[in-house]
Structure 1
Amino acid sequence: MSLETLADEIESTYNGLDSSVSVELDGETRHELAMLIAALDPDEADELVRRAVHGLFQTTVETGRLDFHLRAGYDVTYDEYLSGMTFDEMTGADQYPQLDDERRYQF
């Protein structure tokens, strides 16, 4: 896969998500959410869910897990996605022809 495939898939998924995503909570998650609501006193429980998504995203980026999964699935990194270019495109490495090692030193 490629950078273009990743960008298309993100756009498609983004457009498919509506503003109110419904999530079923198991007992443990419900208990943890109730504890956070009691401790942090947000205006709405939805605010904590938004924070949780931001926190998970940040942790995934900082630990390198996002890059690992993007490289495995799309052969790009998050930085490449943000810049809109692969590393080879940024450095110009994809502009030069591949060397033929068998004929390299022949005249």
Structure 2
Amino acid sequence: MSLEDLTEEIEESYTDFDDDLAVSLDRETRNELAVLETALEPAETDELVRRAIHMLFQTTVETGKLDFHLRSGFDVTYDEYLSGMTFDEMTGADQYPSMDDERRYQF
């Protein structure tokens, strides 16, 4: 897969989300959400869910897990996705023709 494939999949996922995203909660998650809502007193419960997504995203980026999964699935990193070009494209490494090992040392 490539940077273009990643961008396409992200755009598809983004359009699949409605303004209201229905999420089912298990008992443990419901309990934790109730405790957080009681303690933090947000204006809406949705605010806690938004914060949780931001925290998960930030943690995943900082620990390198996002890059690991993007590299495994799409052969790009998050920085490459943000810049819109791969490292090879940034450095010009993809501009050189590939070396032919059989003829490499022939003059």
Q: Same fold (TM over 0.5)?
A: yes
Tell me the secondary structure at the aligned position of residue 18 of structure 2: coil
What is the match of residue 57 of structure 2? 57
Unaligned 5+ runs, structure 1: none
Q: Normalising by structure 2, report the TM-score.
A: 0.96
Give the 5 Å matches for 1:62-101: 62-101=62-101
Q: Deviations over 1:60-98 (max 9, x none)?
A: 000101001101111100000000000000000000011
Large movers: runs of 4+ above 6 Å: none
- Structure 1 residue 5 and structure 2 residue 5: aligned? yes
Root mean square deviation, CA, Å: 0.8
Unaligned 5+ runs, structure 2: none
Which amino acid is the alignment partner of residue 63 of structure 1?
Answer: T
1:104 to partner: Cα distance? 1.8
CA distance in structure 1 between the aligned counterparts of 2:39 and 2:104, rounded to whole angstroms: 68
- Structure 1 residue 30 and structure 2 residue 16: aligned? no
How many percent of aligned residue pairs carry the same amino acid?
74
Tell me the secondary structure at the aligned position of residue 20 of structure 1: coil
1:54 to partner: Cα distance? 0.5
